[in-house]
A and B are shown apart, each in its own frame.
Chain A
Amino acid sequence: MANTATHDHAHDHHDHKPHGLKRWLFATNHKDIGTMYLVFACAMFFMGGAMALVIRAELFQPGLQFVDPGFFNSMTTMHALLMIFGAVMPAWTGLANWMVPMQVGAPDMALPRLNNFSFWLLPFAFTLLLLTLFVPGGAPAGGWTLYPPLSLQAGDSFPLTIFAIHLMGISSILGAINVVVTILNMRAPGMGLLNMPLFCWTWLITAYLLIAVMPVLAGAVTMLLTDYFFGTSFFAASGGGDPVMFQHIFWFFGHPEVYILILPAFGVVSEIIPTFSRKPLFGYESMVYASASIAFLSFIVWAHHMFTVGMPLAGQLFFMLSTMLIAVPTGVKVFNWCATMWKGSISFETPMLFSIAFLFLFTIGGFSGLMLAIVPADFQYHDSYFVVAHFHYVLVPGAVFAIMAGVYYWLPKWSGRMYNEKVGKLHFWLSTIGVNVLFFPQHFLGLAGMPRRIPDYSTQFADWNMVSSIGAFIFGFSQLLFVYVIWSAVRSGEKAADRPWEGAHGLEWELPTPAPYHSWETPPSRAVISQGAMH
């Protein structure tokens, strides 16, 4: 055991915090690193959001108004990469950093220095990616899926994009290893796997998915790199390769990736709905098994992203049916959330509002996913705005709303202060109305035949595009309220109690507010653990 460490703790019973810039640059504390992750994710969310607004401004009416088509394509590509790898994934890792040690009764993450390494890779990775905006040929414009041969026609941006993805991948893998090890090895005695809060469970499964598929993405983009620079022919038929092979390898990563984005959201919502329904979660174990089933199924459905590219009939049937099977465990989850609220004494604070919106709107996205799973129907929907509407429903009012719900829910524990409920609710209503005005009409556009990733369109699509763009600006600008409400809470919010939500369960609420710098320096006793579970 650490001579120096024990010495220091003896000196200073409470928070031994390093000060100044070193606290952040050389951080080993899970809360500091979690905060950096969340701030970084927020910055990327706004940057990616600004790109989305460029897209929606251009699409406000038919014709080319503001940007040239090449730059428009760069915007769609960069928007996706920033939002997926820069905003949603780091936000989840940030929440895991903050909450997992507190929820399992640990002082910190299992591998604190590795933790800081995974964080600091991200700013460097996104520096590389954003540099592409300024190189000859412009930023990557072939879509975030990087399909060859189109992606191989990129200019100087090409290696920057590839290496940025490598760095993001390393960051995700190391972050995920840390979460797995923390959950499996750092649980307080008496905290069995099936006593863990669902946020830990869903993150454990997410981390497993990350470790399994991020290396596959690394392999896929490495093959692109060697095809581009070193004369290999993985994706060129002239040498015996096949561009479709890239799609298979990419989506073997890509489909588990969408569950990486959404599984932690299931966890957060499963914490918040019981709290504000003042009832225990309905069907805890079935939630765990449903999450694991979703993770397993996610490995055997990838080709539903590429029905129109051509594959044997047996393949189409297999991928259609396995995809529809995912609706079963997902249905279990939705049922359980509804059953948790059933006859509960529900109150509608901001985290609960976001969670309920998640429940309804994510389900809409799930249903449009089922429509897309049907092969003959997909032949019509493929690459249309219907697909755009589908995945934005699961990612924005799905993943992003759950992140916001989690931030509102745990902010009092983090900062020791309450946010302004009125502004929080205003933020919620503007976001929810905005997001539906933004994305719901895109279903109509897609079914009417509007293709995705185009800067100009036929005049028949003009009305709904205008509506959608208005929704985009409402949604985009209302996110400034989110920053304001957090800022004002941290600066001058009312002091929060140790358990600010009367129905809250879990170990994190047994800690004082704000949570001490090293969460649980000694493991919580079994009494404290069961007290946390009972509350």
Chain B
Amino acid sequence: MANATEHAADKYYVPHESPWPIYGSATLFVFMIGLCGWLNEWYGPWVFATGVVMLIALFVGWFAVVINEHQRGMYNMQVDKSFRMGMMWFIFSEVMFFAAFFGALFYARQLSVPWIGGEGVKIFNKLLLFQDYTATWPTNGPAALGPRDDGSFETIPAFGLPAINTAILLLSGVTITIAHHALKEGNRKILNIFLAATFLLGFLFVGLQAEEYIHAYTELGLTLSTGIYGSTFFMLTGFHGVHVTLGAIMLLVIWFRTMKGHFTPQRHFGFEAVAWYWHFVDVVWLGLFVFVYWV
């Protein structure tokens, strides 16, 4: 090993052949064709379920290899930096994915809904197509789509559960920062406690969101098919919720690793990647809180 470290400075690390990439591609294929067949009613959910199981095996298997290689000291600082950059660019791609849905929200609120309501030169929309419709936000459109017979629906006020959820996520941002500082100072006990607090807050957030969804579906007449408001509301908060769930699972995995004594004060890319991801879902939530719930 000492000999190998000597070479680390002038030799690059190229991993050997791995079955995981092609297994991963096949997994996504099964997952997606399963979903297609299910949606098209060719067959039941079983192919899709197989895809889900394969996907879990993919994550467990591939990450196990990488974690194991890391623990054996196979990654030099250059590989570490490649991982960091890769994670940052991946998060950037996620930001752009959310940007598409935020774009849809802003477009609907600022342009398409006022146009349907006959704003400016679009007055003919009002005169010829949608006489009875007045543009407002929130709206479920001229056809008043939604589960209720009278076409009405209610929204979730920002300063109820959503404000509590905001506090929860902001607090989790603080706890993970404390955990990070503890890791860098070598204080493993504080690290373990605050990391646990972080993922518990994460799962609490997801639980409260589920509660909110049930409330919306059963009592408020607010569903995915409640016009453009329901569409943007559930797609934005839904994709965010999926990301929080994934982030919380990632935190949980990292917690298992810190409990096993992984990571050093100097080298802890896995921890940092998850922390960045967690801050990313946090920031997205702030955008949601302001533009979906509040204003």
Rounded to whole angstroms, the CA-CA distance of A213 and B86 in the bound complex is: 17
| Nearest chain B CB to A256 CB, angstrom units | 11
A5 interface residue per 8 A CB criterion: yes
Interface centre among B12, B73, B103 (most CB of A within 10 A): B12
Q: Is the CB of B115 within 8 A of A226?
A: no
Q: Is the CB of B15 within 8 A of A28?
A: yes
Shortest Cβ distance from B101 into A: residue: A219
Q: Is the CB of A218 within 8 A of B14?
A: no
**A121-B28, A167-B29, A230-B225 known; A159 vs B100 contact (CB < 8 Å):** no
Rounded to whole angstroms, the CA-CA distance of A518 and B14 in the bound complex is: 9
A388 interface residue per 8 A CB criterion: no
In chain B, positions 82-135 with a C-beta closer than 8 Å to chain A are 82-83, 85-86, 89-90, 92-94, 96-101, 103-104, 107-108, 111-113, 115-116, 129
Rounded to whole angstroms, the CA-CA distance of A404 and B271 in the bound complex is: 45
A345 interface residue per 8 A CB criterion: no
B289 interface residue per 8 A CB criterion: no
Rounded to whole angstroms, the CA-CA distance of A230 and B13 in the bound complex is: 47
| Nearest chain A CB to B35 CB, angstrom units | 7
Taking a contact as CB atoms closer than 8 A, the residue among B29, B85, B139 that contacts A124 in the complex is B29
Q: Is the CB of A114 within 8 A of B21?
A: yes
Chain A residues, CB < 8 A from B111:
242, 245
In chain A, positions 100-146 with a C-beta closer than 8 Å to chain B are 106-108, 110-117, 119-121, 123-124, 127-128, 131, 135
Main secondary structure of the interface of B (DSSP, over half): helix
**A26-B19, A242-B107 known; A234 vs B74 contact (CB < 8 Å):** no
**A226-B235, A523-B10 known; A212 vs B5 contact (CB < 8 Å):** no
**A6-B11, A128-B33, A238-B143 known; A1 vs B76 contact (CB < 8 Å):** yes
A25 interface residue per 8 A CB criterion: yes
| Nearest chain B CB to A102 CB, angstrom units | 14
Taking a contact as CB atoms closer than 8 A, the residue among A3, A6, A211, A252 that contacts B89 in the complex is A211
A521 interface residue per 8 A CB criterion: yes
Rounded to whole angstroms, the CA-CA distance of A234 and B231 in the bound complex is: 7
Shortest Cβ distance from B20 into A: residue: A113
Chain A residues, CB < 8 A from B78:
185-186
Taking a contact as CB atoms closer than 8 A, the residue among A3, A113, A117, A230 that contacts B72 in the complex is A3
Interface centre among A156, A163, A218, A229 (most CB of B within 10 A): A163
Interface centre among B29, B39, B93, B224 (most CB of A within 10 A): B93
Taking a contact as CB atoms closer than 8 A, the residue among B74, B112, B227 that contacts A1 in the complex is B74
| Number of inter-chain CB pairs below 8 Å | 257
**A25-B22, A26-B19 known; A111 vs B227 contact (CB < 8 Å):** no
B175 interface residue per 8 A CB criterion: no
Main secondary structure of the interface of A (DSSP, over half): helix
Shortest Cβ distance from A137 into B: residue: B40
| Nearest chain A CB to B37 CB, angstrom units | 9
Q: Is the CB of B104 within 8 A of A111?
A: no
Instruction: Select the stretch in A173-181, A330-338, A359-367, A411-419 that faces chain B.
Output: A173-181
Rounded to whole angstroms, the CA-CA distance of A212 and B35 in the bound complex is: 27
Q: Is the CB of A22 within 8 A of B17?
A: yes
Chain A residues, CB < 8 A from B10:
522-523
**A215-B100, A233-B225, A522-B11 known; A156 vs B40 contact (CB < 8 Å):** yes
Chain A residues, CB < 8 A from B3:
6
Chain B residues, CB < 8 A from A177:
86, 89-90, 93
Rounded to whole angstroms, the CA-CA distance of A160 and B3 in the bound complex is: 52
Interface centre among A6, A28, A219, A252 (most CB of B within 10 A): A219
Chain B residues, CB < 8 A from A232:
224-225, 230-231, 234-235
Rounded to whole angstroms, the CA-CA distance of A220 and B100 in the bound complex is: 7
Q: Is the CB of B14 within 8 A of A230?
A: no
B36 interface residue per 8 A CB criterion: yes
| Nearest chain B CB to A94 CB, angstrom units | 16
| Nearest chain A CB to B81 CB, angstrom units | 5
A192 interface residue per 8 A CB criterion: no
Interface centre among B1, B32, B145, B229 (most CB of A within 10 A): B32
Rounded to whole angstroms, the CA-CA distance of A176 and B96 in the bound complex is: 15
Rounded to whole angstroms, the CA-CA distance of A57 and B7 in the bound complex is: 62
Chain B residues, CB < 8 A from A167:
28-29, 32
Given contacts A5-B74, A219-B104, A232-B230, 12 further A-B contacts (CB under 8 A): A123-B25, A163-B33, A177-B89, A211-B89, A218-B100, A223-B104, A234-B104, A238-B145, A240-B113, A240-B142, A245-B107, A518-B14
18 CB < 8 A contacts A-B: A26-B17, A110-B85, A111-B83, A117-B21, A124-B28, A131-B33, A163-B36, A181-B82, A212-B92, A213-B96, A220-B100, A226-B235, A237-B112, A237-B116, A240-B227, A242-B115, A242-B116, A245-B112
Report the 9 A-B pairs with minimum CB-CB distance, sorted nearest first. A219-B100, A231-B225, A240-B141, A240-B228, A242-B112, A26-B17, A232-B231, A215-B97, A238-B143
